[in-house]
Structure 1
Amino acid sequence: MAAKVASGTNKVFQSHDDVHISFEDQQRINRFAKHNARMDDFKAELEMKRNELKSVEEALEEIELFDEDEDIPFLVGEVFLSHKLERTQDLLKETKDTILKEIAGIEAKAKVIKAEMDELKAHLYQRFGSNISLESDD
């Protein structure tokens, strides 16, 4: 009786085909599941960073309407510091650049993980065919 493993879980389903799962195969399945979980973490982190970026961009648009002599509070850590319009715009642009770099870093890491997942998926489907399911539930 063969084992059918769903990605991201430790559930084993029994089928009528006789398929042997070697230690190396199990390591590949585990690595795929681990990468799958990391990809979910990357997706959540990207969504958070994109929302943060949107907020910064909206703030940049909003403060364009302010008077140049007006003090504008800017959150640094847990403290608000007041700056004039130009300095606040500079700080927001720096924050935007930082967020864009963080997004690019996350996307680069996700690309590397995705490439390895594709290799693992190809190998495991070649080895187990329909006896293994590596598709996400999304």
Structure 2
Amino acid sequence: MHTNFSLNILPSFNLISVLIIALKLMFTKMAATMKKTAAEDVNITFEDQQKIKKFAQNTSRITELKEEIEVKKKQLQNLEDVCEDIMLADDNFLMTPYHIGDVFINHSQEETQEMLEEAKKNLQEETDALESRMESIQWVLADLKVQFSCSVMSDSFCNPMNHSRPGLPVHHQLPESIQTHVH
């Protein structure tokens, strides 16, 4: 069975998207080849098991981060909507209730606006930190995918120093600052 794939890579695709597409193609072809040799025993080393575990944990963490980011973005949108509503209010002497902990405290519109801006700033910083964390995990996953493909293929086809195949550029090397905070 021969399958032709065509990739229409748009400029908006990032490196990880391109890597994922390439890996899917490679794994599809490898799966077809492996079906022929399915009768043979497959030995999975302890190191491979650890990589699989790390991959699963990081994939799960990315899902959690995406959910957290979505919640934060909705909260940020709610704060922006409230800020707009307060700005549209005509009465500058109107006291506006602001929720702090379990109680609402009345503040002037100006004070409430300042508090909302600070809350928006903090929420945006939290969202940015989560997105940065998710990006670093995606780099780890991309690196693991390359390692998986190299462990499946013969060592003669894979450079053991950087897990790259001959003729392909090595883009999966992580900056040291990212490597140190990814677990």
TM-score scaled by structure 1?
Answer: 0.79
Contact 1:19 1:128 in 2 (8 A): no
| Higher relative contact order structure (alpha carbons within 8 Å, sequence separation ≥ 6) | 1
Deviation, structure 1 residue 72: 0.5
Bigger CA drift: 15-24 or 54-63? Answer: 15-24
CA distance in 2, matches of 1:32, 1:52: 30
Aligned CA-pair RMSD: 1.2
Residue aligning to 2:115: 91
**AA partner of residue 73 (structure 1):** P
Q: What does residue range 1-138 of structure 1 map to in structure 2 within 5 Å?
A: 15-66=38-89, 67-128=91-152
Contact 1:69 1:84 in 2 (8 A): yes
CA distance in 2, matches of 1:55, 1:30: 38
Deviation, structure 1 residue 126: 2.5
Higher strand share: 1
Residue aligning to 2:32: none
Count of equivalent residues = 115
**AA partner of residue 111 (structure 2):** R
Deviation, structure 1 residue 17: 4.3
**AA partner of residue 44 (structure 2):** I
CA distance in 2, matches of 1:32, 1:87: 47
CA distance in 1, matches of 2:74, 2:57: 26
What are the ranges of 5 or more consecutive residues in structure 2 without an aligned counterpart?
1-37, 154-183
User: Percent of counterpart pairs with the same letter?
Assistant: 33
Moved beyond 4 Å, runs of 4+? none
CA distance in 1, matches of 2:127, 2:39: 46
